[in-house]
Amino acid sequence: MISATDISFGYDGNLVLDGVGLAAGPGEVVGLIGPNGSGKTTFLQTLYAALRPRDGLVTIDNDPVTSLSGTALARRVAVVAQETPSDLPVTVAEMVLLGRAPHRRLLTPFNREDHRTVAAALTRVGARDLADRRFATLSGGEKQRVLVARTLAQQADHLLLDEPTNHLDIRYQHEILRLVSELNVTTVVVLHDLNLASRYCDTLVMLNHGRIVSAGAPEHVLTAEAVRAVYGMHVERVYAGGYLQLIFSPIDKPSLHPSTA
């Protein structure tokens, strides 16, 4: 379980997060949504102690993240950050193998089981054929799949992802998020696409200007009123295949269809 309570954070006197929080239970996928600059990435970074909040508390299974060593935290929390060095002189297999580092003592070589875990992780994200390629030569979408494979190899029971569908085509956007939703680990994910968030997240936390506007089940958070207030867009809610879908249009243009929900 990941719990954050009354988190506040600021840069140079500017408050970026103002008393925000969340609770992600075992196996639950919690989505952080909101417009650019709303504080989503900053909030996520406080969850794995990359940033230390001014106020508030973050815990992993009731242990404060600040009380955990780097290795102990890495064994329990896997992270796919938005910015990852892409010019490292390593192969794809070596990049994914880094996910096994928290499970090895310093300077202890990786063993056969580590390499089997890496192969299985790459296969699961559809990137097994990239194993011998240099990571730096991959496309943006290929790199993203490899980074998700690295978190799978890490075998942590908590997963934090910052916009994992960036650079992915439609097929892999859905494949990666479906995979994440089926891992049965506690997950917090930053997403811009509200339809993807609605489909693959159990709970959403909508941020705006560093504060929580709404939190709860997707159908309760993604209301026409909330989307208009936060994003400045008209939205029509429809259900297709049992999933809530949002159809957007600018506020200064009249809606072409009557609202169905």
Instruction: With cut-offs at 50, 70 and 90, classify the pLDDT of residue 253.
Output: low
Q: By C-alpha distance, which of 95, 58, 83 is closest to 186?
A: 58
| Amino acid present at 42 | T
Instruction: With cut-offs at 50, 70 and 90, classify the pLDDT of residue 202.
Output: very high
Instruction: With cut-offs at 50, 70 and 90, classify the pLDDT of residue 85.
Output: low
Q: What is the pLDDT of residues 5-37, one digit of tens each?
A: 999 999 887 899 999 999 999 999 999 999 999
Q: What is the pLDDT of residues 146-195, one digit of tens each?
A: 988 999 999 889 999 999 988 788 988 998 899 889 888 999 999 999 99
pLDDT attached to residue 33: 98
pLDDT attached to residue 169: 87
pLDDT attached to residue 179: 86
pLDDT attached to residue 125: 86
> 11 to each of 5, 35, 157, 213, how far by Cα in Å?
20, 19, 31, 22
Residues 217 and 65: their CA atoms lie apart, in Å, by 26
pTM above 0.75, yes or no: yes
What does the pLDDT average to over 90-119? 90
Q: Is pLDDT above 90 for 124?
A: no
What is the H or E stretch that residue 255 is in? none
Instruction: With cut-offs at 50, 70 and 90, classify the pLDDT of residue 254.
Output: low
What does the pLDDT average to over 74-98? 86
Angle at 197 between CA 215 and CA 206, to 5 degrees: 30
pLDDT attached to residue 25: 95
More confident residue, 56 or 109: 56
pLDDT attached to residue 38: 95
The structural domains of the chain, ordered by start, are 2-222 (3.40.50.300), 232-261 (no CATH)
What does the pLDDT average to over 238-255? 85
Angle at 112 between CA 109 and CA 113, to 5 degrees: 105
| Amino acid present at 120 | A
DSSP-derived secondary structure for 2-36: EEEEEEEEEETTEEEEEEEEEEE-TT-EEEEE-ST
Strand, helix or coil at 78? strand
pLDDT attached to residue 176: 87
E-assigned strands of 111-255?
Answer: 158-162, 186-190, 203-208, 211-216, 233-240, 243-250
